[in-house]
Amino acid sequence: MSNGRLEGKVALVSGSGRGIGRAIALKLASEGARVVVNDLDADPAQEVVEAIKSANGEAIACLGSVSEPDFGERFVAAAMSNYGGLDIIVNNAGFTWDSVIQKMTDEQFDAVMDVHLKAPFRILRAAAEPIRTLSKQEALAGKVNVRKVVNISSVAGTNGNPGQANYSSAKAGVTGLTKTLAREWGRYKVTVNCVAFNYIQTRLTMPLGGEQAQIDVEGRLLNVGVQQNVLTTLDATIPLGRGGTPEEAAGSVYLFCIPESDYVSGQVLMCSGGL
């Protein structure tokens, strides 16, 4: 994968074994980035690594839950020890666990906040010292290298969404984290931006069939999927007339990773089909 827009860059992409994260990892790798792939489960993570390698790219896996207290350090260390650098961080990992507020437990609220907001905070905190050190070394050498952070939010975080007090609160928090880090890290030549997705076609948004689909998140079997009538209404509401694909979602993240966006920071990009 030579002569790509991201040749020589090192990227962390959390939650990249499936769905949007997988598409992001493949897109960045297709443009020359060396990617640290993450997932809870070994098989999907390794499948993405092998897909990248089979296309002559470079990738490794860093397994585990982003909510583990030491995950941020492990994730950053994987990039630094294997590739000797860190240029792009995409905080993508997440899941939904919905209920109306009167039925939502503390465990439910905290689990979603931990993955969607505390985990990005911990990953970025772990990256702060390596980025500061690398930036200082580059400045002394007269080299300019603009690093990129892209945090994933949602229209639930910008507009709210019934049944998602936990998810909406976390995604709104991601926006605040993004805007604060854009101010703190500008002096290190780091841009920090956010992409807010609307309806993207993944396993979390598949139409409900005869049986409730479930995913296993750290031993919790959680129901996922959306009622067909809700999806039909969404399609009718979205100006482009449909939900987005994971590849289209990845494209919006990619925009913030390329040199053309080197002077864009602290922004929230809506990837919503015009909604």
Q: Residue 25 in contact with residue 254, Cβ under 8 Å?
A: no
Cβ neighbours around 159 below 10 Å, total = 14
Residue 192 CA, chain-centre distance (Å), reads 13
* Burial (CB count within 10 angstroms: exposed 0-12, middle 13-18, buried 19+), residue 211: exposed
Per-residue DSSP letter, 211: S
**Secondary structure tally for the chain: helices H, strands E:** 9, 9
The residues near 237 (Cβ < 8 Å, ≥ 6 apart) are 275
* CA 81 and chain centroid, separation: 22
Q: If you search the block for the tokens 């999806």, which residue do you land on?
A: 231
Q: Phi and psi for 96 in degrees, rounded to 5?
A: -115, 150
**Catalytic residue (one of 83, 167, 188, 254):** 167
Residues constituting the chain: 275
Strand 88-91: give its sheet, edge to edge. Answer: 59-63, 34-39, 10-13, 88-91, 147-154, 190-197, 268-271
254 is catalytic: no
Sign of CA dihedral 175, 94, 90, 118: positive
Which residues form the catalytic set? 167
